[in-house]
A and B are shown apart, each in its own frame.
Chain A
Amino acid sequence: MSTAGSVGPARMRDGALRIQAFEDWLLRDALGAPTSGERPHGAWTVVGSFRGMGEGLDGLFRMLGAGTDDGVMFGECRIEQVRPLEHEREYVVRCEVLGATRRTGRRVPVFDVVEYVTEIVEQSAGPDGTATEVVAVRCHASMIVPRPEAAA
């Protein structure tokens, strides 16, 4: 992938995610969903990816070269649910910006499409003490980042 502006491949430090039952209740309530469930609501695949990023959404925006009030929008999101998430389990969250492509448009004259991947990872120790990792959820997503300074 090509890079645009100052956005190039970069990896965020690992973060952590633990979904508490009351947090799941809050998200379910926000969605108008049944407020109890055997497992966290499926929306946690996306919410948890953001929430658990090592440097948070603020950090992701910094990596995109944008501020939180610069009108950044979601572009696309491909979510793979390998294993459903569980309440009260500790996960590692990884985030890597893959790069950006500069585009032009009518409503937003110049913008970058920035692609990134997040993974919510289960870590456990095997019987022999060997650490194992399984990706539970992977999101390959893009953000639309307006670049008004490039349009001037």
Chain B
Amino acid sequence: MRPPAAPAVTAEAVGDDLPDLAVTVRAEAMKPTALLLRDPNPIHLDPAVVRGLGLGDRVINQGPLNVGYLWEMLARWTGDAGLVRSLDVRFTSNAFAGEVLVAGGVIEDVADPADGDRIATCAVWLCAEDGRDVVRGTARVVLPPRPTTPDDGGDPR
């Protein structure tokens, strides 16, 4: 997949929604992820193990992938994942192969100090189609500086 053409911050005020990101949980994606994580847990690989544990009949997505969808949603919003200062999440339910999840968020606060970065505090979530929360939490993200204008005393050139 190619990078998005033009990253742009389309939300930057309290109450603004962050652009949703819909993803489909893929069993095939869990296999390389298990290798990258060095995670031997068979619940990500073998549906028979999931059934044996009474957790369902499809493999269960790795938690770091669920967090990764939130990072991706934030990266598409800001254009730069390096602007995410913190991500504080709670894992509330499992996501299963084949499910469609939506990552989203809303800006709850914007700190705009005179001598520092503008920081947006956002409620973020990853929800399944049936409305179930998979992950819920808070992200703190640096917003781009406001454009200066002559009235601000900034350089108008």
- A: residues with CB less than 8 A from B are 23, 26-37, 39, 41-43, 45-47, 50-51, 56-58, 68-69, 71-81, 84
| CB atoms of A73 and B68 under 8 A apart | no
The interface residues of chain A lying within 8 Å CB-to-CB of B84 are 42, 81
| CB atoms of A41 and B38 under 8 A apart | no
Alpha-carbon gap, A42 to B141, bound state (A): 13
Total inter-chain residue pairs, C-beta < 8 Å: 134
Alpha-carbon gap, A69 to B51, bound state (A): 12
Alpha-carbon gap, A58 to B23, bound state (A): 29
Alpha-carbon gap, A63 to B40, bound state (A): 16
Interface centre among A23, A32, A72 (most CB of B within 10 A): A32
Which of A34, A45, A51 meets B4, CB within 8 Å? Answer: A34
- 4 A-B pairs with the lowest CB-CB distances in the bound complex, closest first: A43-B68, A42-B71, A42-B81, A30-B29
| CB atoms of B86 and A80 under 8 A apart | yes
Q: List 18 A-B contacts (CB under 8 A).
A: A27-B68, A30-B68, A33-B68, A34-B2, A34-B4, A41-B71, A41-B72, A42-B84, A43-B72, A50-B38, A57-B40, A71-B55, A74-B63, A74-B91, A77-B89, A78-B88, A81-B85, A84-B82
| CB atoms of B38 and A51 under 8 A apart | yes
Tell me, rounded to whole Å, the shortest Cβ–Cβ distance linking B1 to chain A: 5
With CB as the reference atom, state the residue of chain B lying closest to A57.
Answer: B39
With CB as the reference atom, state the residue of chain A lying closest to B46.
Answer: A69
Tell me, rounded to whole Å, the shortest Cβ–Cβ distance linking B109 to chain A: 18
| CB atoms of A43 and B64 under 8 A apart | yes
With CB as the reference atom, state the residue of chain B lying closest to A39.
Answer: B82
